[in-house]
A = this chain, B = another copy of it.
Amino acid sequence: MSYGKTFEAWRKATGTVWPAYVDHAFVRGLGDGSLPRQAFLHYLRQDYVFLIHFARAWALAVTKSDTVEEMRLAAGTVNALINNEIALHVEICAGAGIGEMELFATEERPENLAYTRYVLDAGHSGDLLDLLAALAPCVMGYGEIGANLAISKTSDAFSDWIDTYSAEPYQQVCRDVGTLIDSVAHRRLGSDPNGSPRWRGLCRRFTTATRLEVGFWDMCLK
């Protein structure tokens, strides 16, 4: 499982923040089945609203692309988010008696709102690379969590969720986004991205977004 050179470097630069995200108590609860069903439904509702705004941020990436290939990949991701990933949430929630209109009306928690609006602002205030640094932790983190849990899980209570993110289609999304990030980094920073004066700022963005992911899990357990 490798999602690209730039992502690896950004992940490493977070220090203890990345592990705090991918090994969060919420994640362990998905793997051993100890997560209360109510917490999972609470998560799904907030995550539904999250995905709406996350899809908006990927659409912003389309408007900030410099090449047709970048546009195609970003536009494909918007579609995957709105039409596939959200479908999982709608389906599971429907099974629990929560309709899509009720999902959409979920009151967005501040921890949720903080994250997506931060990502959107990363795009508006900077360029495509600034935006991608804020988008990456969610995309790739879920890929890593899914792949980890597929191996380590001791319960099938949340296997629908685990299957979605560990399965090939989602892993392919992670690799594609990793390739996109490497290529944009190369195109805007050159052959030695770490040597660019922007490097520290990009690592900071990625770390802040990862920290907001931790805050999101925390909120789901409250």
Contacts and interface: CB of A to CB of B under 8 A. Distances in A.
A182 interface: no
Interface in A63-94: 63-68, 71-72, 74-76, 78-79, 82-83, 86
Give the interface residue-count category, chain A.
Answer: 35 or more
A212 B112 CA distance: 12
A195 B189 CA distance: 10
Interface in A8-49: none
A170 B144 CA distance: 40
Contacts of A83: 72, 75
A68 to B, nearest CB: 6
A158 to B, nearest CB: 25
B114 A110 contact: yes
Given A113-B118, A198-B188, A215-B110, A63 B56 contact: yes
A71 B54 CA distance: 12
Q: How many copies does the complex hold?
A: 4
A195 B197 CA distance: 13
A99 interface: no
B120 A124 contact: yes
Contact of A121 (B62, B121, B126, B189): B121
Contacts of A196: 189-190
A186 interface: yes
B113 A64 contact: no
Contacts of A113: 114, 118
A65 B64 CA distance: 17
Contacts of A86: 68
A113 B115 CA distance: 9
